[in-house]
Amino acid sequence: METLQDLKKIVVLGTGGTIAGTAADASDNIGYRAAQVGVAELLAGVPGMTHALKGHTLVSEQVAQVDSKDMTFAIWTALALRVQQHLAQDEVCGVVITHGTDTLEESAFFLHAVLPAALQLRKPVVLTCAMRPASALAPDGPQNLLDAVAVALTPGACSVMVVCAGVVHAALAVQKVHVYRPDAFSSGDAGPLGHVEEGHLRLAKNWPLALTHQAPLGPEKIAAARAWPRVEIVMNYAGGSAAVVDALLQPMPSAPALSGLVVAGTGNGSLHVELSAALQRAVQAGVKVVRASRCGEGRVLPVKGSVFADSNGLSPVKARVALMLDLMQT
């Protein structure tokens, strides 16, 4: 039985997304405008939230209000700073973040990478979302919010994770794999961390304490950086050529010089001979190249004698985040 001294605070940070979206017609699940409803209003409209909190306090804060396809580095930085500040408070037992689904996996990985010091406090950061707008006949956002709060209040919960459709995914493994269904995310062959069932977490594996892809810089150093390194993603495919890479190497008056490239190779990161030659020219020009795979599951295995570093198990979009953070050191 919890005493008054045991009761703490859950902080919900809003960033917009479909979960905060509205459409003119309640039956329209795709023609909506994202990021229309404030996080405080979203939370006020969730049936059963008071029961889910079990006496704990819920506090909300609007960090941003965007469609997550338009996520920016500035929002990432502000979000990381706010998460770090809240986690450092003794009365806060966890942070929940409402977010759009399109770039959710990138934001989750970014927070995982830049908050190792904060996460040593063994507190959870739970990102959640929706595939249907708040105005839908049967919105999925309210249940996802209830599930996210349930996970954040689970004793021992820690690390950055994503909760969607009753499934809990680790930040390293989570990927959006479907364009429409409410259960749009997967952890691939790594498998989910657990499942939320009637407000209770059934944990399938240990909490991921080892931050194997962490950057040695925190949110404050990122905020102080003058600019983020420019890193682009290219893909291998039948009939591939050097054209895209060669174009990216050309100076652009409206963009900084290219610092890194992530290549989404076929299979185990294999590359068309012309694309490989172009990437080698990029390396000679001082661009760092990382080899990932366009496959949805599995990880690129190191190849002896390869000119390019592998992505250390990361998907192309997460490998891009990791490479930007690495380059930011120099």
Pairing relationship of beta strands 185-186 and 194-197 according to DSSP bridges: unpaired
pLDDT reported for residue 121: 76
Q: d(Cα 312, Cα 79) in Å, to the nearest integer?
A: 26
Check if 212 is active-site: no
pLDDT reported for residue 210: 46
In 3D space, the residue among 17, 186, 39, 183 whose CA is nearest the CA of residue 99 turns out to be 17
State pLDDT tens for residues 285-318.
Answer: 999 999 999 999 999 999 888 999 999 999 999 9
Q: Which residue has the tokens 């689904």?
A: 101
What average pLDDT does this structure show over 33-42?
A: 98
What average pLDDT does this structure show over 16-31?
A: 97
State pLDDT tens for residues 136-176.
Answer: 999 999 999 999 999 999 999 999 999 999 999 999 999 99
pLDDT reported for residue 208: 81
- Predicted TM-score (pTM) of this structure: 0.95
pLDDT exceeds cutoff 50 at 236? yes
Q: d(Cα 157, Cα 299) in Å, to the nearest integer?
A: 27
pLDDT exceeds cutoff 70 at 216? no
The token pair at 33 is: 């405008």
pLDDT reported for residue 215: 55
pLDDT exceeds cutoff 80 at 39? yes
Phi/psi for 108 (5° steps) reads -60, -45
Whether the Cβ atoms of residue 222 and residue 250 lie closer than 8 Å to each other: no
State pLDDT tens for residues 57-100.
Answer: 999 999 999 999 999 999 999 999 999 999 999 999 999 999 99
- Identified catalytic residue from 15, 18, 98, 154: 18
Least trusted range by pLDDT, from 4-18, 114-128, 166-180, 202-216: 202-216
pLDDT reported for residue 217: 80
Across the chain, mean pLDDT equals 94
pLDDT reported for residue 1: 45
What average pLDDT does this structure show over 259-288?
A: 97
DSSP assignment letter at 69: G
pLDDT exceeds cutoff 90 at 226? no
Q: Helix (H, G, I), strand (E, B), or coil: what is residue 248?
A: helix
What average pLDDT does this structure show over 94-115?
A: 97
Q: d(Cα 127, Cα 13) in Å, to the nearest integer?
A: 9
What average pLDDT does this structure show over 46-52?
A: 96
pLDDT reported for residue 2: 52
- Taken as a whole, the chain contains a residue count of 330
